[in-house]
Structure 1
Amino acid sequence: MTMIDPFTVALLLILFLAFGGLSMGLAMICGAFTYLLLGGYDPSIASETLLQGLFHGYTLLAIPLFILAADIMNIGTLADRLLRFSQALVGRFKGGLGHVNVVSSLIFSGMSGSAVADAVGMGKIIITMMTKDGKYSGSYAAAITAASATIGPIIPPSIPMVLYALVSDQSVGYLFAAGMLPGLLMGVVLIIMNMIIAHRRGFATDEAIPLRELPATTFRAIPALLLPVILLGGIYGGVMTPTEAAAVAAFYALSISILLYRSVTFKGFYQALLGSARSTATVGILIAGALTFDYVVTRENVPQMMADFLAQYDLSRVGFLLAINVMFLVLGCILESGAILLIIVPIFLPTAQALGIDLVHFGVVAVVNAMLGLITPPYGLLLFIVASITKQPLIRIVKDLLPFLAALLVALGVITFVPDFVLFLPRLLGYKG
């Protein structure tokens, strides 16, 4: 009998490899195999667990299709038309381009389902617009872009919601519906904070698109604006599953980009396919690692151990949710959002159920926390993305980001402690929770 605890060795190995620069997915695969070898188990268990998880994870097919749809919109003119439409709506107010940034993220999020796609696609365009005439500093443009990009995976479609559905066995459709009002709330608090900062710093009023051009601008954007309508209408109308809706989204984005806007070249489409393949591979490795390591976590009975540990403190629902928020925000500083949803969240699902917390509501709370982790210093992935776009020092971006992060934490408080707000739309659509 070995004197080394295989689980402890596996955890230490994962941490060492992850902080050493290896992707979290590969680190978890290495940790799982190490656990099996040290524990004297058949290593083929890992492969069997992975295959079983993928076999029952039909909804995972939605992820590469949503990624492809977002990449197609970035190579076409859909993003430009949506940005022009947003500018016509809110660009005339003080701090107008900041408002445009948030509104364009709200609209674009209804198509991409990815915070990174939002920041890289729409974000790159709006940052250039904000900094072109020197009205906004590069760090401020980067900060509000990173903050608004967190809305992307909250408003449906949402790749993180699909990942949560995988580990919690909840309906993707109801999770999508539950994210709509929280996403809008996050957009509202960001607009309010941008308005306050604009007045305090005396930002100049941006040049507005004349109201008489609004109908024409809206008409040109209608084909792009119809995408989320078709997508969500198909899901909630029972016509399509989320996976089929993702396929329709990719096909629709490609069709209107080629046939209507004529803005996609063969080279551009090829680049979109390559980019989608890379992004899908990244997510796929993370899922593979999570599925294999989940076997280890289950075998070690970690969820029950965690439930017993928390039971010692006799936490109420409010206390548990508060502890979860603090824990997830701290973990968000060092872990990828996908890793939090696939590894950490399942550990707490039994406790949440035991406390009577609705798992759809809990899913939205978990996803919002994971997204805020993308802008939480020092690791926040979105911070590095916008820093690379603007060439601004990270410390300056973080300084300008803090007011927006504070506003989003207020929204998180409402989302966490007012479950009826989150579950209002799912209940209208027939959810019994």
Structure 2
Amino acid sequence: MERVGSGAYSDVYRARRLSDNHIVALKEVHDYQSAFREIEALQILQNCPNVVALHEYFWREDEDAVLVLEFLRTDLATVIHEAKKKEGGVPLGEVKRWMLQILGGVDACHRNMIVHRDLKPGNLLISDDGVLKLADFGQARILMEPGFVADNVNEQPYEQNAGHQENISPPSDAVPEADSLPDQVEEDVTREEYLRQLVELKAKRHSMDETDKDTNINDGDTSCFATGTMSDIEDDHLRNSYSYEAGEGGDDRQGALTSCVGTRWFRAPELLYGSIDYGLEVDLWSLGCIFAELLTLEPLFPGTSDIDQLSRIISVLGNLTEEVWPRCSNLPDYNTISFAKIEKPTGLEACLPNRSLDEISLVKRLVCYDPANRATAMELLNDKYFAEEPLPVPVSQLYVPLTKNEDDEDSPGGWNDYNDMGSDSDFDDFGPVNVRTTGSGFSIQFS
């Protein structure tokens, strides 16, 4: 019927299914790897109420995949944009309900060891009746076979939802998800057990990576902007990019992860420092940035380049050191790029003016350097913040914009890919820059 989004790797159309006149979204994906990831993740999560439903998929003659998804006309970025026009912003009861729905979707992903890697307001779509759903799984990775979670996390099976089963044969070992998610979920796994399983997961994944690294494309120990030889600086270090896509990232399901994923404003510091050994925690950092934006109606760290992104984070949280994050010096680009010592970081309190201590605490539990210290979605679903007045409003009482905002430059997202929000080559805003060559490439220090 019409094209509603377009990007480097996909085009999305609003369409009518002829068999029953049902309005759907057709997402034509031009990158095979991205299509495979999205289909696989959505099959596993097909019964989760807070994840967009995949009805079916097919392949065009030109080998592009077409995903038939439920059509959702607006997103959280539009909710935030519209709230700026109203005095008082988003009412706190509505903020809590949006947060709970986001946490429900992320918890479903993480229980199945799926890391989304591109959480942002524009990828949180909203139905006409106020149900929020995670979308755009083109950069998602399954960190382990779903059966691993079923065996080790004692996951209770959920009932199948026949409404989302059309023409889909889910993996036989997929963990079914819930028809509905209560405001509070039973915390059946201790934090220590969760972290222990994550360590085992990474070790097993590393073993798989070592077996396959000769055949898989791998971006090695390079971040999106920091490390390179002198001959490839123009191609890599100074790349104009806002949102990196799977085709560029160089990782595949069995291969090493890449740091060049996600959207800059919501990208965790370990990614900015070039880590290729990260886990579900990168989504938790993104959650903190989303929650902060929902509370203030402004992006938390609106970097104009990857360097500027790190600079903004450091100015708020302080310098990254072994004291705040043990073994951070092992990050690939930790010794490549350094910043002058921040004597008095502004702190997250300054970024959340006029917000309660509980709200600031919620963001702090997510926006912290050490990934091991970030609160899981399951922990936050049980946080007392959501049981205190004002209580989360019913979904039916949420304000849902009628249409999606197409011109929101502050927090772009939705169905599209985004590739042109600033250049890492523009260092003029950072004062003196000292670049020196090293045996393996170069080092940059910012004053």
TM-score by length of 1: 0.27
TM-score by length of 2: 0.27
Which structure has more strand as a fraction of its residues? 2
